[in-house]
A and B are shown apart, each in its own frame.
Chain A
Amino acid sequence: MKELEQIRTMYQHKNKDIHNLDTWNEVKNLFLGKNGYVTSCMKEIKNLDPKDRKSFGEAVNQLKNEITVLLDKKKVELENLEIEEKIKSMPRLDLTIPTQEECGSLHPVTIVQQKLIDVFRSMGFAVEDGNEIETEYNNFEAVNIPKHHPARDMQDTFYLNNGQLLKTHTSASQNRIMKKYGAPLKVIFPGRCFRNEELDASHENTFFQMEGMMIDKDVSISNLIYFMKTMLSEVFGKEVNVRLRPGFFPFVEPGFELDCSCPYCGGKGCKVCKQSGWIELCPCGMIHPNVLTMGGINPEEYQGFAFGLGLSRLVMMTYGIDDIRHLNGKDLKVLEQTKVK
């Protein structure tokens, strides 16, 4: 028993010398290893007088437990120390220092167009692509603008040497799309349009539009209003109001100019809406019966509405771009500002 007391004292002494895992292992071996002091004592038990065995056995076991607990505790301490050391040796970085992140850019028109496409697709519209070079028939006749119609005056058309032209409006695709799909139909078709005019801050000869059509058996003016309001609220990410005014476009009857309550000032008046609270945003109307007929759709059975959105204008509003020429300008210092999103 006295021997056990000596071992205990010895351990207490040794415990202080443990500074790392190596010394920890040494000490553990010294006491609890195969030939360690405690293990040796355990081996002694069977040689003892049977009447002493029980009490000695209990005492050895208790000693073993005591040492095990102390060793475990020491090990946790050591490990904590080691992690603290690691942390101390870790470099401390300043992440507030600016870094040069490299990223390409999408053209602002692409970004706004994609946003619109997403909105329309979410509302069940198909997306169609169109040519930039069109026939006179598709651009004019098929949308109810016969030869010598005064409406051809409003559009300074780029003509090509083979009699074709650069399309003056996305409506040039209406006929082809109606013939391709027939009714009912819900489709949008973005495209680049061309007008032969001099350039300035608000005039480009190459610009972007997005047009849409919805044709079905019971499509009414009140559906058009509902749809435009819902769509524009989605586009601007806030509730807007719309109002219709008469507008003359040969391919719709009745034709409307649609004003949208200014999403920037909520209708109070600001620079964007020229203090009026309204933004003239998109010509629209019920598709003219002649246009439906030429597209192979029976106007007695089907009605529909069509609308055009000035994509270039929407882009300029969205990004606060004040000169339309930037959109075709190819100056990367300007374009790089619309990083990929």
Chain B
Amino acid sequence: MYISVNWLKDFVNLDGLNIEDVVQQFTLSCAEVEGVEYKGKDVQGVITARIEKVVDHPNSKKLHLLEVNTGKEKLAVVCGAPNVKVGMITAFAPIGAQVGQLTIGKAIVGGYESYGMCCSAKELGISDDHSGILEFSADQQIGVDVKKVLPIDDIIIEIDNKSLTNRPDMWGHYGIAREIAAITGRTLQPYIVDQHTYSGKENLAIEVLSPSCYRYSAVRIGHVTKHSSPEQLKIRLYYCGMRAISLLADLTNYIMLELGQPMHSFDGSKIQSITVRDIQQNTPFTTLDGVQRILPSGTMVIDTNHEIGAIAGVMGGQSTEIEENTDSVFLEVANFEAVKVRKTATAIGLRSESSARYEKSLDPEMTMMALRRYIYLLQTIDPNCEVVSNICDVCVKKYDKIVINITKQFIDKYTGVDIPQERMVHILTSLGFQVTENGSELCVHVPSWRATKDISNKADIVEEITRVYGYDNIVSKPSTQPIKPLRIGTDIVREYDIKYMLAQRYNWHEIHSYIWEDQPTNAMLGIETPSYIYLINSLQKDNENIRSSMKPTMIRTLLQNKRYADDFGVFEIGHVVTGMKDHLAQEEKHLGIGVMTKQNNFAQKLLEVKDSILYLFHYVLQLPVRLEESRPTEEYLCPINHYDIICDHESVGNIGVLHPKVQQKIDAEKVVILVELNVSKIYQKPAEISKYESVSKYPTTSLDFNFVLDQEKHYGDIEEIAHKIPTTLSYHVELLDIFDNGNTKNYTLRYFVTSKDHTLSSEEIEQFHTSVITTFEQHGVYLKTE
């Protein structure tokens, strides 16, 4: 939103203040300023002058040869404007003057010398009207700096609308002036409005049926003789980003920019009755901008003469638009429910200056203020006009008066500093709050313009006091909280250990990827992957499905980087959705690992990946783990070399290899190994703390055994048995050697056995030897027969 400093000065005296300082203070206490622009800086030396002669250019239909009287001299000027005429007083830039980027010099135009330039409003930066040169009234003195005639010099402050979201009162100059008065300690001038009482005139036929119309104020004004706004008013509108149209319409915009209260001016001759209602079915309607829109059922509209004349709070229609030479205006100033306007604006995709303000929950007290301001301003500009109706004011809903009781002690506790009570009261009063004091208790009456939703509790009052007091004046202080131990629910901390290990020990690279699938790439690779939930409004087409596994992400990342190196790996701990429960997504965190290597390095790489998983469980997480061969459920994985990762009798992930049919689409010479691990699940497993075992001082005996297993079996199948020897002795076991004869596999196990309190006798050793064989035999595993 743009704020004109000239305009602010109507409401608060800024004499003697540096505007830059005021802006800085405003930023620190009120709202964010996005920029400050100095208007008129690039217009220098332009004066009023009279055109004394107009001669057609001999060779050009457009150009004229003028004689321009500056009051000091008469100059020859070549001019292309179509509206030149003898006697006209215009804005003239003589040699040496500056207009925008241009410094005027003597020029040859169309073969004739020109000693200056007549200027359009656009060239002076006060309008985008470039249809002709500026025309002053005939009694305008010539030879005067145009800046003395028109308020071209101004400072425009741009305020970030987002920072005004909760401040409906700051959507106009008067509200901003109130803030500036409070932070600079100046006095806010009263808002001057019409004070007359009107009676015995026409009673307007107004009916409010919609509960979303909180207040509807209206008046009819007739005998209007002026149709164009004064230049000063036009320039203010233009500087604040609006275009002047006609006096009656411009005033509604002007007051909206003052108070933040939108208004609508219907052509007075066209309105007999008004009904505010919610429509019951979808209805087409053509708005002022000439676009036909379908209004959904439930939209609040203003019926004029029983036909839709405007969308309440959003935009008027063409049929009741102000005609160029109308002599009367029907003025509507209403207060509508914020949510209703917002819904309508969103539904029909039309956000207007008006809807933007209504959405903020405006103060219903403003309707009469705005209406009476309109009468006052119009009568000032056009003294002939006359109020021809009684003022109609239908109040449907009033907001509750808000009174907040707060103590100085509460404020001190909240701020951590001791602000004098007198200062607190002064700040609140300057912002329009009424305060009654009872000792250290403040009874704060919230003004209507802050009471629609902005201020409702004690914290809000603290904010008002502190921001004007100055956040810079709040000294920083450490808190005096007692020290307590941390509650550790810190999965993220363990995550770092996992990532660090994978990157440092295995040289893989961590990536971050999107939570949705890249469907086109999946389709290209022939990867089908289930998705339990999808986005319904994504701007990224074909990327709506939320992933259920990290593997496709890993595969795509390897594909994207396939020329990075012959042998490399990537990993990520990311979120996936693995199902639905009570309509809610079941979200888990999974570790995905993808490693790509050359075919001839496959076996070694697979063992390395396996090693990484064991290391992760045993040393990073201190959890037991084993691998169990299984069939992959994903069709894009190879049917062999697929293992479930088992922790605490439960599968928590798997290791697999990319199916050759997918592999060949990436690089047939390579092979991809994939891991998926449900880290959410393993975080819940309690870490195993290894107990201290005293070291035996007695000699250890080693015993070797040679067991035979079917080709189909894995070492994993006998590993558990190997640790279950019934004995009181201490032992551990190592796999010494594997010999594969094609039909069967021989596993050589070496047991190390000892006692903690004596040297083993040969009988004890013999007994242990027998126990090992018996235990294995009980599980159908036999010693190799020579």
Q: Are A226 and B557 in contact (CB under 8 A)?
A: no
B458 touches A (CB below 8 Å) = yes
Residues of B within 8 A of A181 (CB): 487
Alpha-carbon distance A214/B471, docked complex (angstroms): 20
Please provide the chain A residues from 275 to 329 with a CB less than 8 Å away from any CB of chain B in the complex. Answer: 286, 288-290, 299, 303, 327-328
**A110 / chain B contacts, CB cutoff of 8 Å:** 496, 499, 510
**From B483, which residue of chain A is reached at the shortest CB distance?**
A124
Q: Report the separation of the CA atoms of residues A192 and B342 in the bound assembly, to the nearest whole angstrom.
A: 30
Q: Which size bracket describes the interface of B in this complex?
A: 35 or more
24 sampled A-B residue pairs with Cβ under 8 A? A103-B503, A104-B509, A106-B503, A117-B492, A148-B338, A160-B534, A160-B585, A162-B584, A184-B481, A186-B481, A196-B538, A198-B539, A218-B413, A219-B481, A221-B414, A221-B415, A222-B476, A223-B477, A243-B471, A243-B472, A246-B467, A254-B462, A335-B509, A335-B511
Residues 401-456 of B contacting A (Cβ, < 8 Å)? 413-417
Dominant SS among interface residues on chain A: mixed
- Bound-complex Cα distance A43 to B535 (A): 108
B512's partner among A150, A163, A256, A327 (CB-CB below 8 A) is: A327
Q: Please name 18 further chain A to chain B contacts, defined as beta carbons within 8 Å, in addition to the given A158-B535, A205-B540, sorted by A numbering.
A: A103-B504, A104-B504, A107-B512, A126-B487, A126-B488, A127-B492, A129-B589, A159-B535, A162-B584, A164-B585, A194-B515, A205-B539, A246-B28, A246-B30, A330-B511, A331-B561, A332-B570, A340-B504
CA A111 to CA B167, docked complex, whole Å: 40
**B326 proximal to A (CB < 8 A):** no
The reply on B560 being an interface residue by CB < 8 A is yes
Contact: A160 with B535, CB < 8 Å?
yes
Task: Identify the closest chain B residue to A105 (Cβ).
Answer: B509
Closest 7 CB pairs of A and B: A222-B416, A220-B416, A254-B463, A104-B503, A226-B476, A244-B471, A225-B476
User: Which residues of A are interface residues toward B (Cβ below 8 A)?
Assistant: 102-107, 109-110, 114, 117, 121, 124-129, 131-133, 135, 147-148, 150-151, 154, 157-164, 166, 181, 184, 186, 190, 192, 194, 196-198, 205-206, 214, 216, 218-223, 225-227, 229-230, 243-248, 250, 253-257, 286, 288-290, 299, 303, 327-328, 330-333, 335-336, 340
Q: In the complex, A255→B483 CA distance in Å? A: 27
* CB-based contact B587/A220 at 8 Å: no
Q: Nearest chain-B residue to A189 (Cβ)?
A: B492
B522 interfacial by beta-carbon distance below 8 Å: no
What separation, in Å, do the CA atoms of A29 and B162 have in the docked complex?
A: 102
Q: How far is the CA of A162 from the CA of B564 in the complex (A)?
A: 40
Name B515's contact: one of A186, A206, A226 (CB within 8 Å).
A206
Cα(A148)–Cα(B490), bound, Å? 36
Q: A226 near B477 (CB under 8 angstroms)? A: yes
Chain B residues in the interface with A (C-beta under 8 A): 27-32, 162-167, 338-339, 342-343, 359-360, 413-417, 457-460, 462-463, 466-467, 471-472, 474-481, 483-484, 486-493, 496, 499-500, 502-504, 506-515, 533-540, 546, 557, 560-561, 564, 568-570, 575, 577, 580, 583-585, 587, 589
Closest chain-A Cβ to B232's Cβ sits at a distance in Å of 33
Say whether, besides A128-B489, A225-B476, A340-B500, A253 and B457 are in contact (CB < 8 Å): yes
Chain B residues closer than 8 Å to A206, beta-carbon distance: 514-515
Assess the B585–A148 pair: CB atoms within 8 A.
no
Docked Cα-Cα span, A255 to B31, in Å, equals 11
Q: Nearest-CB distance from B301 to chain A (Å)?
A: 19
Question: When the two chains form their complex, are residues A222 and B511 in contact, meaning their CB atoms are under 8 A apart?
Answer: no
> CA–CA, A299 to B410, complex, Å?
12
- The residue of chain B having its C-beta at the shortest distance from the C-beta of A152 within the complex is B342
Verify B503–A256 contact, CB threshold 8 A.
Answer: no
* Chain B positions within 8 Å of A230 at CB level: 478
CA distance A223 to B481 in the complex (A): 11
What is the minimal beta-carbon distance from A120 to any residue of chain B, in angstroms?
A: 10
Nearest B residue (CB) for A190: B492
Docked CA distance A333–B512 (Å): 14
Tell me which residues across on chain B come within 8 A of A102, comparing CB atoms. Answer: 507
Given the contacts A160-B546, A220-B477, A245-B471, A135 and B584 also touching, CB distance less than 8 Å: yes
Which residue in chain A gives the minimum CB-CB distance to B412? Answer: A220
Taking CB atoms, residues of chain B closer than 8 Å to A129 are 489, 491-492, 589
A104 in complex: contacting residue of B167, B506, B540, CB < 8 Å: B506
- B-side contacts of A186, CB under 8 Å: 481
Distance from B595 Cβ to chain A, minimum over Cβ atoms (Å) = 11
State which of A132, A133, A254 has its C-beta within 8 Å of the C-beta of B459.
Answer: A254
Q: For the complex formed, measure the closest distance between the CB of B313 and the CB atoms of chain A, giving whole angstroms.
A: 14
A131 in contact with B575 given A154-B162, A162-B585, A254-B467 (CB within 8 Å)? yes
Give every chain B residue within 8 A of A244 (Cβ-Cβ). 471-472, 474
B546 CB to nearest chain A CB (Å): 7
The chain B residue sitting closest to A131, CB to CB, is: B587
Q: Does A222 contact B360, Cβ atoms closer than 8 Å? A: no
Q: What's the least CB distance linking B418 to chain A, in Å?
A: 10
By a CB distance below 8 angstroms, the chain A residues around B508 are: 104
Q: How far is the CB of A341 from chain B (nearest CB, A)?
A: 9
Provide the bound-state CA to CA distance between A223 and B477, in Å.
5
List chain B residues, Cβ under 8 A from A250: 166
Q: Are A150 and B165 in contact, CB atoms less than 8 angstroms apart? A: yes
Interchain nearest-CB distance for B474 vs A (Å): 5
Complex Cα distance, B360 from A341, in Å, reads 50
Question: Are B479 and A226 closer than 8 Å at their CB atoms?
Answer: yes
Give chain B residues whose Cβ lies under 8 Å from the Cβ of A340: 500, 503-504
Closest to A333 in B: B564
Decide yes or no: A286 and B509 within 8 Å by CB, A117-B492, A340-B500 being known contacts.
no
- With a cutoff of 8 Å between Cβ atoms, the chain A residues found around residue B583 in the complex are 162-163
Chain A residues whose CB sits within 8 angstroms of the CB of B488 once the complex forms = 126
Closest A residue to B478 using CB positions: A226
Chain B residue at smallest Cβ distance from A102: B507
Interchain CB contact under 8 A, B510 and A289: no
Output the nearest chain A residue to B30 by Cβ-Cβ distance. A246
- Residues of B close to A331: CB separation below 8 A: 560-561
Contact B534–A161 (Cβ < 8 Å): yes
Partner of B486 from A104, A121, A245 at Cβ < 8 Å: A121
Contact A246 B510 (CB under 8 A): no
Chain A residues closer than 8 Å to B515, beta-carbon distance? 132, 166, 192, 194, 206
Q: Say whether A229 contacts B476, CB under 8 Å.
A: yes
Least CB distance from A6 to B in Å reads 59
* Contact in complex: A219, B479 (CB < 8 Å): yes
Cα–Cα, bound, A279→B162 (Å): 19
Q: Which residue of B lies closest to A287 (CB)?
A: B459
Interchain CB contact (< 8 A) of A253 among B359, B463, B502, B575: B463
Pick the residue among A127, A164, A184, A227 that contacts B490 (CB under 8 A).
Answer: A127
Find out whether the CB atom of A248 lies under 8 angstroms from the CB atom of B577: no
Return B657 CB to nearest CB of chain A, in Å: 21
B560 contact set on A, CB distance < 8 A: 330-331
Chain A residues with CB under 8 Å of B496's CB are: 110, 114, 117
CB distance from A172 to the nearest CB of B (A): 13
Asked if A196 contacts B413 (CB within 8 A), the reply is no
CB distance from B727 to the nearest CB of A (A): 44
Are A105 and B503 CB-contacts (below 8 A) given A126-B487, A131-B575? yes
Q: Report the separation of the CA atoms of residues A114 and B573 in the bound assembly, to the nearest whole angstrom.
A: 14
Q: Are B533 and A336 in contact (CB under 8 A)?
A: no
Contact status of A289 and B457, CB under 8 A, knowing A181-B487, A303-B414 = yes
Query: CB-nearest residue of chain B relative to A104?
Result: B503
- In the complex the two chains form, what is the Cα distance from A222 to B462 in whole Å? 13
A103-B504, A107-B512, A135-B584 as given contacts; A159 in contact with B489, CB under 8 Å:
no
Give every chain B residue within 8 A of A223 (Cβ-Cβ).
416, 476-479
Shortest Cβ distance from A114 into B: residue:
B496
Decide if B507 touches A103 in the complex (CB within 8 Å). Answer: yes
B31:A332 contact, CB within 8 angstroms = no
| Residue from the set A135, A197, A223, A327 with the largest chain B CB neighbour count within 10 Å | A223
B492 and A221 contacting across the interface, CB-CB below 8 Å: no
Between A106, A157, A220, the greatest number of chain B beta carbons within 10 A of the residue's beta carbon is seen for A220
A286 close to B459 (CB less than 8 A): yes
Chain A contacts of B589 at CB under 8 A?
Answer: 129
Chain B residues near A162 (CB-CB < 8 A): 533, 580, 583-585
